[in-house]
Copies of this chain bind each other. A is one copy, B any other.
């Protein structure tokens, strides 16, 4: 099990048995793989992770699947077959961590619930990430990102004022669940260092999304006012928003009084700095629409670059609204090595966003291409369970793997 990809990574030596599919679960186990865990992705014969079928493809490799399954190994296990379930139990008895994101009860039907596995491996950290959690009236409902963004209130505070709510453009609900699941797993591993015992971690995408909306809730609890979409604006700080330009839009965050004054001067709007309606932060907040009108009338006559150059020269925090191609070309992200590539044997070079966790002494794992379905079945069963080639061949013949 000496894997050169993992040497010197913080989670080197950690075996993760991964029953996840599509997004929240696979994103969590990709974080663990980037940090050096040995992630064995258990997939059903024939189809595997459903997201292997999401378009677009390069040489039949789904861009979606590859973006969240790098550096994992794939093992086919037919869990409808008793010998498949038996292999899963034997692997779980050797693993440090098991992760699954099925609708609650699914793993139990295969005899793979936490209660089934704990007697075999009391040290196992068993993480369940689901739409709504293992308990409560919605527990059995399937969840999708947009369902959770709608129920959690995220959509109700995202969009333009007076227009319909919009969905956050990335899968915020799935990924929030993934990140808190990862945190739960790592916290349970630390607890295990002291107690010697594993436990079940139960994270719900809905709970995670609500936690991330923190100040929308406290604002409501404090004022009784129901937050609504603000376009690009901040709920309290002004100016902290996007403004239109001749050729698009740019953003400004002028959080304090010197920045406010510098903002006015930089845009040739010195008269606003004298205007009683905008004299203090709370007056600017109260008259934010008047201010928006005044500023927009001016910025719409300039290009984004003209506005940004003037604001940057005056030390006012500001930025262009970058499109995805511009982000890919951003020099800061190049310097940070945030776009990685893997070499896939059929699809060739595959590029993706990398790990944002940098450490001074440890390193993230060298990224390897996402696995083909069952690519590592023989390797994993040989390495972890000591199965011989003939045994693996027999399992394959019998449709177990």
Contact = CB atoms under 8 A, between A and B. Distances in A.
A274 B132 CA distance: 34
Given A133-B358, A179-B183, A221-B352, 6 more contacts: A57-B222, A67-B215, A164-B244, A166-B229, A183-B186, A203-B358
A183 B183 contact: yes
Nearest to A325: B226
Given A165-B321, A236-B55, A251 B155 contact: yes
A58 B190 CA distance: 37
How many copies of this chain does one complex carry?
2
Interface in A37-87: 54-58, 63-64, 66-68
B230 A199 contact: no
Contacts of A362: 187-188, 191, 199
A285 B55 CA distance: 11
16 contacts: A10-B190, A10-B191, A68-B215, A136-B335, A146-B234, A150-B251, A154-B169, A156-B169, A166-B232, A167-B233, A170-B215, A171-B215, A187-B362, A199-B362, A217-B353, A227-B324
Contacts of A330: 151
Interface string A4-18: 000000110110000
Contacts of A54: 236
A320 interface: yes
A253 B153 contact: no
Interface in A129-143: 132-138, 141-143
Give the residue among A14, A171, A253, A360 with the most B Cβ atoms within 10 A.
Answer: A360
Interface string A166-201: 111111100110011011101111110111010111
Contacts of A27: 214
Contacts of A204: 336, 356
A75 to B, nearest CB: 24
Nearest to A184: B357
A338 B165 contact: no
A232 B155 contact: yes
Interface stretch (A205-213, A263-271, A287-295, A374-382): A205-213
Nearest to A223: B56
A152 interface: yes
A255 B150 contact: no
A190 B187 contact: no
B233 A356 contact: no
A108 interface: no
B200 A360 contact: yes
Nearest to A179: B179
Contacts of A325: 220, 226
Name the 8 nearest CB pairs between A and B, nearest first.
Answer: A157-B169, A186-B186, A207-B356, A136-B335, A144-B253, A158-B169, A10-B191, A67-B218
